[in-house]
Amino acid sequence: LNRMLHWIKNMGGLKAIEERNKVKAALIYDVIDESGGFYRGHAEKDARSRMNITFNLANEAMEKDFVEKAKAHDFIGVKGHRLVGGLRVSLYNAVTPEAAEALSQFMKEYERVNG
């Protein structure tokens, strides 16, 4: 707990962490929202999580391909929950804005190639 509190302080405090998480989530939600239905988000806009972003593609085969290609680009853990399916991006506090930006670029490229 002490390490985490020091990390939060070193990152600029809770407000800075909150702003950082808003930026990271916006990077991914913007890709989903601007995809014209290629990526299909689950949550209503006013109920979206900043930590776990869930979405689907057109079918399970495409989702499996997305997971494999994401892993090849060092994005791991994007497969959705085993009971729910789909895809899930987890943007926990330790995930950097740069990592979220890289994932958003991967998602745009995946849509460009497969859309």
For residue 102, what are the CA distances in angstroms to 20, 69, 71? 15, 14, 13
Per residue in 61-85, pLDDT tens? Answer: 999 999 999 999 999 999 998 888 8
Across 46-63, average pLDDT: 96
The pTM assigned to this predicted structure is 0.93
**Contact call for residues 56 and 40 (beta carbons, < 8 A):** yes
Enumerate domains of the chain plus CATH numbers: 2-114 (3.90.1150.10)
Per residue in 98-114, pLDDT (tens digit) is: 999 999 999 999 999 99
- Mention every residue, 6+ apart, whose C-beta is less than 8 A from residue 29: 41, 48, 53
